[in-house]
């Protein structure tokens, strides 16, 4: 059942696995430039997802990462592309987004100076 759910998720993210010829040409990229999602990529992503599934055990909540859940409104095409990058790189979506945010903040700080946040109360 999990394989069926993963397959439907991948089809929802990536679209139909066998696009018709007019759609493939309308993207504007040559066929050789588009990376194909292989079964190995899907297996690596699934293994990465299963590694840290579920709630953390007692005492583990702040051990490595102090993360906060956040919700954003994003253009659907942007999120589809980020999900595709996550799939191709066999990494979690949260890791790809974290890397993008870190890169953006570093670029902003290099132009405008280091951000100094007030201490938490």
Q: What pLDDT does residue 25 have?
A: 45
45's tokens: 């992503």
Whether the CB-CB separation of 113 and 43 falls below 8 Å is answered with no
| Domain residue ranges of the chain, discontinuous segments joined by + | 73-121
Distance CA 25, CA 1 (A): 34
In the predicted model, residues of the chain with pLDDT beneath 50 are 17, 19-33, 62-63
CA 84 to each of CA 26, 39, 42, 110, 111: distance values in angstroms, whole numbers, following the listed order: 19, 14, 11, 29, 30
Q: What pLDDT does residue 72 have?
A: 92
pTM of the model: 0.51
Classified as helix, coil or strand, 105 is helix
Q: What pLDDT does residue 6 have?
A: 60
Q: What pLDDT does residue 42 have?
A: 80
């Amino acid at each position: 059942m999990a394989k069926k759910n993963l397959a439907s998720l991948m089809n929802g993210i990536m679209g139909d696995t066998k696009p018709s010829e007019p759609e493939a040409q309308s993207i504007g990229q040559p066929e050789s430039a588009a990376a194909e999602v292989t079964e190995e990529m899907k297996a690596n992503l699934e293994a990465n997802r299963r590694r840290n599934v579920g709630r953390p055990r007692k005492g583990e909540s702040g051990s490595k990462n102090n993360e906060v859940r956040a919700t954003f409104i994003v253009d659907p095409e942007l999120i589809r592309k980020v999900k595709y990058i996550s799939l191709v790189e066999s990494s979690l979506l949260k890791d790809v987004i974290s890397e993008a945010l870190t890169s953006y903040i570093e670029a902003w700080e290099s132009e405008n100076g280091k951000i100094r946040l007030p201490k938490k109360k």
